[in-house]
C-alpha cells in the first residue's frame, strides 16, 4: 500500500483548503501507478520530461514505457548529471526542447531525478508559457524528504547557488522508493541527515524511530524508508505551510545545521588552502571530500548543538546523541578535525548575504527549536575555542 501525505496549497495560490498529494510507493512497478495517477489528474496531457544522464540510464526506460502504455506522448530532455545543470543556459535548452516538441499550455512537466532535476524542471515549468503544471518524481532520498516539498525551484548564477528561481507548487509528487535501490550508500546517508534534522527540530518520535532502527535505515529497508519519507514530508509541509515565502522566520528552522554545514560543504569543494596543516584533505585516509550536502549538514548539526548549549538555550544531550546516531547510519562525525578559521570565514561570507545578523537555529530540546541571532565572532569563540589560538 502506498503512503500518502497531503500538502496544503497556499492561500495565495488556491483556496486555503486545497492540497496536493505526495504519494510514497515502496512496491514494484510503481511507474505504472504513477502513469495512472498522471492520466487521472491531467487527462489527455502531453508530457515534457526532464531527467539527467544517470537517472535516464537507470530509470527512464520503465517510466517511458509506463507512460507509452497509456498513450501519453513524452518529449524527454536529458541534462548532464550534476549541479552544473542548474543554470539559466540549461533552463533555456529544456524550454526550447519542449517548444520544438510542440508542447502547449495543456502539457504537463515531469521532473524525474534528484534535487538538481527537480529544481531545474520546476523552474522551467514555472516559466514555460508562463507556467504549466508539473509533477515531481524524486529519485534521491534527499529529493524525496526535502527538495520536492515546499515549492522552491531554481537555478544557480555565476555569483552563487539558487540565485534565480520561483515558488511554484507541483500538481503532485510521486516518490517511488524502489528508485533508491540504485543510490549509493553515501547518498542514502546524506538523505537521512535531513530526516534526522526534521526529527531534531520538530518530532522526537521520528528521531527515536531512526535511533531504534539505524541499521535498517542505513541499509535502505524499503518499508522503513517509506515511513521516514512520509514523516519527513509531513514535518516539512507543516513548517512550509506556516511560512511559504520564508517571511515569518518559521521556515528558517529548516536551516538547522546549515549555517556551519554550508561553510563545511563549500570548504570541502574548494582548492586546498595555503596552510596545509589547516586542510583536512591532507590527512591520510580522508576519502570523504568533497562532502555531500547532507554529510556537511550532519556536521553542522553537531556544531549547532554545541553552540546552542554555549548560548545557554540548547539541549545539553543533543550533540552526543546526534553523534552516536550519525556513526550508526554512516554519516561523518569528524567536526573538530574539519573546523578551522577558513571555515568560519566562510560563515561570515554567508552572513553578509543574509544582510546583518546571523540567524541560528537552537534546538532547546529534541523536537522543538527556535531561532536566535548570533555574531560570527561568538560562533568562532565557541567552535574554535583554544584551537584558534
Ligand atoms: N528546492 C528545495 O527546496 C531544495 C532543498 C534541498 C536541496 N535542493 C537542491 O537539491 C540539489 C541536490 O539534490 P540531490 O542530492 O538529489 O542531487 P542530484 O540531483 O545531483 O543527485 C545526486 C546524484 O545522484 C544521481 N541519482 C539520482 N537519482 C538516482 C538514483 N535513483 N540512483 C542512482 N543515482 C541517482 C544523480 O544523477 C546525481 O549524480 C541541490 O541543487 C540543492 O540546491 C533543493
Ligand atoms: Zn539541506
Look at residue 285 in the predicted model and tell me its pLDDT: 47
pTM of the predicted model as reported, rounded to 2 decimal places? 0.92
pLDDT in tens, 40-70: 999 999 999 999 999 999 999 999 999 999 9
Determine if ligand 1 sits within 6 Å of the CB of residue 140.
Answer: yes
pLDDT in tens, 126-156: 999 999 999 999 999 999 999 999 999 999 9
Nearest CA to ligand 1 atom 19: 114
β-strand pairing of 47-52 with 155-157: unpaired
User: Residues of 154-172 as b/e, b for ≥16 C-beta within 10 angstroms?
Assistant: bbbeeeeeeeebebbbbbb
pLDDT in tens, 356-372: 568 899 999 999 999 99
Q: Which of 168, 182, 238 is nearest to 206 (CA)?
A: 238
Looking at all shown ligands, the one closest to residue 152's CA atom is 1
pLDDT in tens, 201-246: 999 999 999 999 999 999 999 999 999 999 999 999 999 888 878 8
Own/partner contacts of 216-225, CB < 8 Å, gap of 24 or more, are 217/192, 217/329, 218/185, 218/188, 218/189, 218/192, 218/328, 218/329, 218/330, 220/180, 220/181, 220/183, 220/188, 222/26, 222/177, 222/178, 222/180, 223/26, 225/26, 225/141, 225/177, 225/180
Look at residue 353 in the predicted model and tell me its pLDDT: 60
Look at residue 269 in the predicted model and tell me its pLDDT: 86
Is pLDDT above 50 for 284? no
Residue 46 CB partners (closer than 8 Å, separation 6+): 72, 73, 74, 75, 103, 104, 106, 107, 108
Taking the centre of ligand 1 as the mean of its atom positions, its distance from the CA of residue 63, in whole angstroms, is 18
Residue 310 — φ and ψ, nearest 5°? -60, -30
Look at residue 275 in the predicted model and tell me its pLDDT: 57
Q: Which residues are catalytic?
A: 130, 152, 194, 236, 246, 251, 255, 258, 262, 293
Mutate to test the pocket of ligand 1, among 145, 146, 147, 244 (most ligand atoms within 8 A of CB): 147
Is pLDDT above 50 for 12? no
* Rounded-to-integer distance, Cα 35 and Cα 110, Å: 11
- Taking residues 311-326, report their average pLDDT: 96
Determine if ligand 1 sits within 6 Å of the CB of residue 183.
Answer: yes
Is pLDDT above 80 for 387? no
**What number of residues does the chain have?**
389
Atom of ligand 1 nearest to the CA of 122: 1
Determine if ligand 1 sits within 6 Å of the CB of residue 55.
Answer: yes
* Rounded-to-integer distance, Cα 202 and Cα 188, Å: 21
Q: Is 89 helix (H, G, I), strand (E, B) or coil?
A: helix
Q: What confidence category does residue 93 fall into, taking pLDDT thresholds of 50, 70 and 90?
A: very high
- Taking residues 305-323, report their average pLDDT: 96
Looking at all shown ligands, the one closest to residue 236's CA atom is 1
Determine if ligand 1 sits within 6 Å of the CB of residue 120.
Answer: no
Whole-angstrom CA distances from 292 to 186, 261, 288, 334, 389 are: 8, 10, 9, 14, 30
Is pLDDT above 60 for 280? no
Taking the centre of ligand 1 as the mean of its atom positions, its distance from the CA of residue 361, in whole angstroms, is 24
Of the CA atoms within 13 Å of residue 225, those in its CB half-sphere come to 31
Is pLDDT above 90 for 354? no
Atom of ligand 1 nearest to the CA of 292: 15
Looking at all shown ligands, the one closest to residue 178's CA atom is 1
Q: How many percent of the chain have pLDDT more than 70?
A: 90
Q: What confidence category does residue 6 fall into, taking pLDDT thresholds of 50, 70 and 90?
A: confident
Mutate to test the pocket of ligand 1, among 55, 61, 140, 256 (most ligand atoms within 8 A of CB): 140
Whole-angstrom CA distances from 301 to 11, 197, 308 are: 33, 8, 10
- Asked if 113 and 144 touch (Cβ cutoff 8 Å), the reply is no
Rg for the chain, CA atoms, rounded: 21
Determine if ligand 1 sits within 6 Å of the CB of residue 170.
Answer: no
* Rounded-to-integer distance, Cα 104 and Cα 132, Å: 9
| DSSP state at residue 119 | H
β-strand pairing of 172-176 with 19-25: parallel
- Taking residues 160-180, report their average pLDDT: 95
Residue given cell 514505457 in the structure block: 65
The region of weakest confidence among 26-30, 83-87, 160-164 is: 160-164
Amino acid at each position: 500500500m502506498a503512503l500518502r501525505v497531503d500538502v496544503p496549497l497556499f492561500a495565495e495560490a488556491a483556496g486555503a483548503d486545497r492540497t496536493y498529494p505526495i504519494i510514497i510507493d515502496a512496491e514494484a512497478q510503481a511507474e505504472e501507478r504513477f502513469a495512472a495517477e498522471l492520466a487521472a489528474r491531467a487527462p489527455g496531457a502531453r508530457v515534457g520530461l526532464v531527467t539527467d544522464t544517470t537517472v535516464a540510464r537507470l530509470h527512464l526506460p520503465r517510466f517511458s514505457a509506463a507512460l507509452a502504455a497509456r498513450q501519453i506522448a513524452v518529449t524527454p530532455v536529458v541534462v548532464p548529471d550534476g549541479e552544473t545543470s542548474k543554470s539559466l543556459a540549461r533552463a533555456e535548452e529544456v524550454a526550447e526542447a519542449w517548444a520544438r516538441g510542440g508542447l502547449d499550455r495543456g502539457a504537463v512537466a515531469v521532473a524525474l531525478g534528484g534535487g538538481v532535476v527537480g529544481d531545474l524542471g520546476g523552474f522551467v515549468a514555472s516559466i514555460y508559457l508562463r507556467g504549466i503544471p508539473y509533477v515531481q518524481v524524486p529519485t534521491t532520498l534527499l529529493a524525496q524528504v526535502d527538495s520536492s516539498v515546499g515549492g522552491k525551484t531554481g537555478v544557480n548564477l555565476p555569483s552563487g547557488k539558487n540565485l534565480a528561481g520561483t515558488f511554484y507548487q507541483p500538481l503532485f509528487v510521486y516518490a517511488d522508493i524502489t528508485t533508491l535501490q540504485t543510490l549509493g550508500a553515501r547518498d542514502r546517508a546524506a538523505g537521512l541527515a535531513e530526516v534526522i534534522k526534521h526529527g531534531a527540530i520538530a518530532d522526537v518520535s521520528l528521531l527515536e524511530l531512526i535511533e531504534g532502527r539505524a541499521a535498517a535505515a542505513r541499509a535502505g529497508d524499503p518499508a522503513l524508508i517509506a515511513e521516514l519519507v512520509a514523516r519527513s514530508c509531513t514535518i516539512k509541509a507543516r513548517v512550509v505551510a506556516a511560512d511559504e515565502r520564508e517571511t515569518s522566520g518559521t521556515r528558517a528552522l529548516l536551516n538547522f545545521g546549515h549555517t556551519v554545514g554550508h561553510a563545511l560543504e563549500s570548504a570541502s569543494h574548494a582548492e586546498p588552502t595555503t596552510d596545509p596543516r589547516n586542510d583536512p584533505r591532507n590527512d591520510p585516509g580522508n576519502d570523504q571530500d568533497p562532502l555531500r550536502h547532507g554529510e556537511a549538514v550532519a556536521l553542522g548539526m553537531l556544531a549547532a548543538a554545541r553552540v546552542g548549549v554555549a548560548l545557554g538555550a540548547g539541549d545539553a544531550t543533543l550533540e552526543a546523541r546526534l553523534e552516536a546516531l550519525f556513526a550508526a547510519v554512516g554519516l561523518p562525525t569528524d567536526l573538530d578535525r574539519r573546523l578551522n578559521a577558513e571555515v568560519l570565514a566562510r560563515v561570515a561570507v554567508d552572513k553578509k548575504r543574509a544582510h546583518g545578523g546571523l540567524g541560528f537555529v537552537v534546538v532547546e530540546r529534541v523536537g522543538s527549536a527556535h531561532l536566535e541571532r548570533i555574531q560570527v565572532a561568538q560562533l568562532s569563540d565557541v567552535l574554535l575555542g583554544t584551537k584558534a589560538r
